[in-house]
């Protein structure tokens, strides 16, 4: 298997090993890419919902975000997957050969030419036949060079940003440290635990408008430097898949993280444990799943901590 020149066996072997880790394929029912990548790497994994007709409320991926994702791939600091929407029946081109409800690998992002390079890891279904497919005259020599696609590999293909965002529902970004990242500085890590405790029946702990929000576990983040720093936040719950037998539904608690900076502050005062002084707060980020329909044990987000952020903020 390891000597297979086409490498087609690797996804199947990895899937089989992953299922054995969870005591059978039945335990993988209802799983998702983010949870799988976190299990396999132990690294932070964040999911980006793509705004399209199936999810119009999601934020559009900005040009700056495309550039960040592209840099992460080039420096081998990120592994990126993309999942298509569940149905192409009402889509133009009938999906252009893409498979609905299928996960693809993102090999490269080329922001200057507004396209991605995707890989179909298990080679099911038809080949991609949309814009910028192999043989498309609009694929210039410069674009071909930037794509790095070997035309003998039919499972690799370029796809414009516009077609991608129309047919894909999500991007999953896993932080890794590849060969090119060996000389990059590795920041400190901290593991903190906490849980909102209240006698109330209703789930009010996640709403900043209620007084019960102040009973949430709170942790202080400081950045004394003159430049912003990025922080990888990971929200985890005990995994339920070890006990799953494929017949009962996995149910995680609604959970989320609010990263905030106070707008008003009393000079010389620090945040006491479990309390938020003052009402002025600016949200830097919020992530997780606050609804009852939680399908993963882990959520992650990258947050920029402002410069000169001290314990009074």
Q: Is the dihedral of CA 97, 100, 106, 109 positive or negative?
A: positive
Instruction: Kindly list the domain boundaries of the chain, sorted by start residue.
Output: 31-181, 211-305
Mean pLDDT, the chain, rounded, equals 78
Burial of 115 from C-beta contacts in 10 A (0-12 / 13-18 / 19+): buried
* Catalytic residue flag (residue 167): no
Residue 269 has pLDDT above 50, yes or no: no
End-to-end CA distance of the chain: 56
Is residue 116 classed as helix, strand or coil in its secondary structure? strand
Confidence of residue 279 (pLDDT cuts 50, 70, 90): very low
How far apart (Å, rounded) are the C-alpha atoms in residues 72 and 296?
24
pLDDT tens digits, one per residue of 47-74: 898 988 778 878 789 998 999 999 999 9
pTM of the predicted model, to two decimals?
0.77
Within a 10 A sphere around the Cβ of 300, how many other Cβ atoms?
22
As a whole number of Å, the CA-based R_g of the chain is 22
Residue whose structure tokens are 């900076």: 261
> Is-contact 231 305, C-beta < 8 A?
yes
* Catalytic residue flag (residue 102): yes
Residue 131 has pLDDT above 90, yes or no: yes
Top-confidence residue, 128 or 186: 128
DSSP β-ladder status, 115-119 and 103-110 = antiparallel
pLDDT tens digits, one per residue of 205-238: 667 677 777 777 888 878 888 888 878 888 888 8
Per the residue annotation, which of 32, 38, 52, 102 is the catalytic one?
102
pLDDT tens digits, one per residue of 144-194: 999 999 888 888 999 999 999 999 999 999 988 765 545 555 667 778 887
Confidence of residue 265 (pLDDT cuts 50, 70, 90): very low
> Is-contact 194 215, C-beta < 8 A?
no
Top CATH class of 31-181 equals: alpha beta
> Is-contact 159 115, C-beta < 8 A?
yes
> Is-contact 210 290, C-beta < 8 A?
no
Per the residue annotation, which of 38, 52, 55, 120 is the catalytic one?
120
How far apart (Å, rounded) are the C-alpha atoms in residues 38 and 27?
16
How far apart (Å, rounded) are the C-alpha atoms in residues 241 and 68?
33
What are the angstrom distances between the C-alpha of 181 and each of 78, 105, 150, 190? 10, 20, 25, 21
């Amino acid at each position: 298997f390891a000597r297979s020149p086409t490498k087609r066996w690797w996804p199947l072997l990895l899937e089989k090993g992953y299922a054995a880790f969870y005591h059978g394929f039945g335990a993988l029912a209802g799983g998702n890419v983010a949870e799988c990548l976190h299990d396999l790497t132990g690294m932070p994994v964040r999911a980006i919902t793509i705004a399209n007709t199936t999810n119009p409320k999601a934020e559009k991926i900005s040009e700056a975000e495309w550039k960040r994702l592209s840099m992460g791939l080039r420096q081998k600091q990120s592994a990126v997957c993309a999942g298509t929407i569940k149905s192409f029946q009402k889509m133009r081109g009938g999906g252009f050969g893409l498979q609905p409800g299928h996960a693809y690998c993102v090999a490269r992002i080329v922001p200057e030419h507004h396209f991605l390079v995707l890989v179909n890891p298990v080679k099911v279904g038809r080949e991609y036949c949309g814009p910028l497919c192999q043989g498309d005259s609009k694929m210039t020599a410069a674009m071909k060079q930037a794509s790095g696609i070997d035309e003998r590999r039919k499972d690799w293909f370029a796809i414009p940003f516009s077609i991608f965002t129309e047919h894909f529902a999500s991007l999953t970004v896993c932080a890794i440290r590849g060969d090119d990242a060996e000389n990059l500085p590795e920041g400190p890590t901290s593991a903190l635990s906490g849980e909102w405790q209240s006698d109330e029946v209703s789930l009010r702990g996640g709403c900043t408008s209620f007084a019960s929000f102040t009973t949430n576990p709170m942790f202080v983040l400081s950045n004394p430097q003159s430049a912003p720093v990025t922080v990888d936040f990971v929200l985890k719950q005990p995994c339920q898949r070890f006990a799953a037998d494929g017949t009962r539904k996995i149910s995680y608690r609604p959970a989320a993280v609010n990263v905030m900076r106070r707008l008003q502050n009393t000079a010389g005062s620090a945040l006491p444990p479990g309390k938020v002084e003052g009402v002025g707060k600016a949200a830097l980020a919020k992530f997780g799943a606050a609804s009852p329909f939680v399908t993963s044990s882990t959520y992650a987000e990258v947050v920029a901590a402002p410069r000169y952020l001290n314990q009074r903020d």
